[in-house]
A = this chain, B = another copy of it.
Amino acid sequence: MVEALTGGTPPRVWSLLVTVFGDLAQDLGAEISGPTLTRLTDAIGIKPEAARVALHRLRKEGWIDTRRVGRHSAYRLTEWGRAQSAAASPRIYGREEAAKTACLIVPAPSAGADAPIANAVPLGQGLWLAAETPAGSTALACPLTVDADLPDWIGARVAPASLCDLATLTVRRLQACETLLNETSQLPALQAAVLRVLIVHGWRRVALRSPVLPDYMFPKAWDGAACRRLASDLLQILPRPSLDALDSTDLRRS
């Protein structure tokens, strides 16, 4: 089932570990023990040396802290790392589209048309698509409703072909995982956690690259909305395991 979600190629380790901590240990004080982390990355097909390098880098970058607990290390998100995870969580775990409204923003001629607008998609010519007008703006904001007859080139700006392809690949992997899960009875806590992390990770890559806009702004062939719903369904089937449960699985095996 891991292979259904990775296609046989493990994800980049650094990024995957961000998902692991964000999903399993986002709560204040939550720690992942070294053995549990090793067994999670092992199960995903990540080499121990690659995991060590990535953990070292995450610590240097201020994402995680480490402490010794007996013979092992224990890892937790820093305050900054927790804040990063918390900021991304609504996009990753929300079942609803990222925004309900959209508008075209034309900055005032005097406002410096090239100044970037946060969370907005540049259309070129100094124009932007965004969910809402920036407050206090002198820009012209034209609402784009679900009834708007959007030309294809707008969709292509909202989600370029590379992002659409990633969404299509991801929905296929999630569908394959769903099929296999339906054929499976109870899963051990560690395997459930591995699948859960890979599901979150696959959808997260699509979600965080997608602009904050309603689904109707995306191209007709966009699979991102299907990804979001399917990821949400699968995460309900595979609820987040407690770190204690994962650690005790570890103890049984060691």
Which residue in B104, B140, B149, B154 is a CB contact (below 8 Å) of A151?
B140
Q: Could you show 22 A-B contacts with beta carbons less than 8 Å apart? A: A103-B142, A104-B106, A104-B140, A104-B142, A106-B125, A108-B151, A108-B153, A109-B124, A109-B153, A110-B153, A113-B125, A125-B126, A125-B127, A138-B152, A138-B153, A139-B151, A140-B154, A141-B149, A142-B142, A142-B143, A142-B148, A143-B148
Find A140's partner among B138, B143, B150 (CB 8 Å cutoff): B150
**A153 and chain B: residue at smallest CB distance:** B108
CB proximity of A176 to chain B, nearest CB, Å: 37
Write out the residue numbers on chain B whose beta carbons fall within 8 Å of the beta carbon of A138: 151-153
Tell me the chain A residues, 97-117 only, with Cβ under 8 Å from chain B. Answer: 103-104, 106, 108-110, 113
Smallest Cβ distance from A219 to chain B, in angstroms?
Answer: 14
**In whole angstroms, what is the CA distance A152 to B140 when docked?**
9
Number of interface residues of A (CB under 8 A): 27
Is A1 at the interface (CB under 8 A from chain B)?
no
- Main secondary structure, interface of A, reads mixed
The 5 closest A-B pairs by CB, nearest first: A142-B142, A125-B125, A108-B153, A104-B142, A138-B151
Further 19 A-B residue pairs, CB within 8 A, beyond A125-B126, A139-B151 = A104-B104, A104-B140, A104-B142, A106-B123, A106-B127, A108-B151, A108-B153, A109-B124, A110-B153, A125-B127, A127-B127, A138-B153, A140-B150, A140-B151, A140-B153, A140-B154, A141-B149, A142-B144, A143-B148
- A137: B residues at CB distance < 8 A: 151
A130 CB to nearest B CB, Å: 13
CB neighbours (8 Å) of A143 from chain B are 142-143, 148
> Which residues of the other chain, B, contact A126 by a CB distance below 8 angstroms?
125
Chain B residue numbers with a CB within 8 Å of A150 are 140
Complex-state Cα separation, A123 to B139, whole angstroms: 12
- Chain B residues with CB below 8 A from A142, complex form: 103-104, 142-144, 148
